[in-house]
Amino acid sequence: MLHTKIHLLFLCRVHYALHFLMVLFLFIIFSISHDSYADSSQHQQAVTQSGASHTAAPARWAKGRLLVIPRAGLSEKRFDKAIRPHGFKSRRKLNRLNAHVYELPEGVDEVKIMNKLKKDRRFKAVELDQLVGPSQEISDPSFNKSWALPKIQAPFAWDIASGAGVTIAILDTGVDNTHPDLAANMVPGWNVYDSNSDTNDVYGHGTKVAGTAAASANNGVGSAGVAWNAHIMPIRISGTDGYAYFSAIAEGIRWAADNGARVANISYENAAGSITVQSAANYMRSKGGVVVVSAGNTSGLVNYAPSSALLVVSATDSNDKLASWSSYGPSVDVSAPGVSIYTTTRGGGYGNVSGTSFSSPIVAATTALLFSTNPNLTPSDVDQILTSTTQDLGEPGYDQYFGHGRLNAGAAVHHTYAQLNTDNIAPTIRITSPTSGTVSGDVLVDVSYSDNKEVVRVELYVNGQKTIVDTQPPFAFAWDTSELANGDYTLVACAFDAAGNQGTSDPVKVTVKNIEADTTPPTINITAPTSGTVSGNVPVSVNFSDNVGVVRTELYVNGNKVAESNATEANASTSFDWNTATLTDGNYTLIAYAFDEAGNQGSSAPVQVTVKNTSSTAPLPTINQFSLQNRANVGRFENVKVKADIRTKQITMKVDGNTIASAQGNILLYRWSTWESAPRGSTLSVTVEASNAEGGVVSETVTVKN
């Protein structure tokens, strides 16, 4: 599970308001400040701000991990084939989501591999698994406890709906399920971080968010949430430091969608910018749910592209001004109160808190009110209602500070109540690529689509047969023609909205013309070195074979290509020069790949070696004589002589990676029966290694035929 920690850099200052008789005394209880975190990753970025007085924490991510989303229809086999050259050591699919978590070998640069994979159009998205923290809590002067509720006309909304029958998932640090204002509304949740059902609040942030959304009302204590009769589903995504990975957020959304939540709230910085989180949000939308995310508290521009998968919320104050610390940008959909919000705190208390962390659950709770009013609303309906019933602030119409305006829960609920109707307008769709011509192999099929509400599914039909289904926008297909008979085929795409209306594209006719497939991959083996310690310029020898012919071989070290060689033979050997002089001493993984004309790829078993380049005080040995040098052919028996200088402690002789002789000291004499190593007429790779007392090794390799 997610054990790599990052220090929580945001300040947490919470105002607790205590009343005695009719005099209000406000004092600051405490201020928490954390030590700085030493990032183990060699990569670290600062989020760019525009005129920000509060800066975001440096972006950090899981070292050696990538999140990859393929096109619909790309088979597991072809998916793995596409990523195999990059040295992935493991892969797991996020349950029910079309997103994969890839772990890279130690020492591989995940940013470099990500940039390579982004160029492959078979993948919809490739990104780092970033670690993000809860949107900060900001220290502000106290306001009236309940100012936010009348500001958004919540009491007017309550004339019609209170959230009954709707579950809001709070993806956060957990929730205090014993709190007197929350306990009655709690339903079972899940702990993604530890993979168990313990969802108790380990940091304190989630309890405040939950109370803002759905604290009970009419119970004689505390505060009231916007959807005070809704269920609260706690989903813990963080460690005790409050931070969570994109992959944990995505898994939390999936769990919420599969377990009855109609709304999910994510009060976390930068989450809106993750393609993986957006993909999970699209999964929830496919099941009729909505995901709401806080914009963040950087005081500046957060330049994420808008996403139809998420509702992103900035923060306003009691005067309908943008909060001084609120993030803004083109991804913002709406704004909502976020300054001095009176809510529940861990341990049974209450307090005034500020931040987009609390604007977001106000919008999430209003979404629950809409679903409570009309359970048949689609996510697209919710988007349209929330954005069309706002109080316009700032520049007329949409702007990047307030989005479509400040939330008006009363207007949204009453609009929903008045518009209980059905959607009978079908989507439109067309195939934009290919539009005709000859195709082969993996055919990338692109579509253009639109709907008065929202397209939730696109299907690709080939000759009238449903072939691929994509439920996560942007909709795109990879049609595998490799096993089809050559000939003419007709493609049709069908788009569906949430009401079940179907739109159909015009047919596109293409001709499949695949050369009779060579599906047999080459075989390749690293014959030297096969283990041990190496240094300096290391000859890496390989043998390869193929049923037709190998056209190229490549050598990868820790997932990075370091050398390649062209070939035109069916069975042969070659050698790469690997210069380790500039490398840090340590363990390295070598993998060789062979490719044939058909694109089939074979890979060797990985070889683990240790690079140890000795200092000037321990010179490497020198091989002065090797009797097989400059020999193309050898007889059945060969008297092999190897002589090195006096710094040599041991000499070893290997054939095709297997040790056949060794001698202590600087001379090796060996009568080699070549036919015992391989049948007569074989091509053999012979390596001799000379090592010194400090572990330094030099080697020479020759290729001979017996």
- Give dist(CA 579, CA 534) in Å, integer: 10
Give the sign of the dihedral formed by CA 133, CA 135, CA 139, CA 145: negative
Q: Which amino acid is at 440?
A: S
- Give dist(CA 372, CA 360) in Å, integer: 18
Q: Round the CA-based radius of gyration of the chain to a whole number and report it.
A: 32
Q: Residue 273 contacts by C-beta under 8 Å, 6 or more apart in sequence?
A: 302, 304, 331
Q: Strand pairing partners for 25?
A: 18
- Give dist(CA 428, CA 449) in Å, integer: 6
- Give dist(CA 276, CA 614) in Å, integer: 45
Cis peptide before 619 (omega within 30 of 0): no
Cis peptide before 434 (omega within 30 of 0): yes
Beta-carbon count within 10 A of 434 CB: 17
What one-character-per-residue DSSP string does 634-689 give?
--SEEEEEEEE-TT-SEEEEEETTEEEEEEESSEEEEEEEHHHHS-TT-EEEEEEE
- Give dist(CA 391, CA 634) in Å, integer: 89
Q: Indicate which residues carry an active-site annotation.
A: 172, 205, 357
- Give dist(CA 38, CA 21) in Å, integer: 49
DSSP state of 183: G
3-state secondary structure of 387: helix
Work out the angle at residue 283's Cα, subtended by the Cα atoms of residues 277 and 285, and round it to the nearest 5 degrees.
105
- Give dist(CA 498, CA 252) in Å, integer: 23
* 605 touches 525 (CB < 8 A): yes
Exposed, middle or buried by CB within 10 Å (0-12, 13-18, 19+), for 16?
middle
User: Between helices 379-388 and 356-373, what is the axis angle to 10°?
Assistant: 120
- Beta strands 650-655 and 683-691 are antiparallel
What would the two tokens of residue 8 be?
Answer: 């929580």
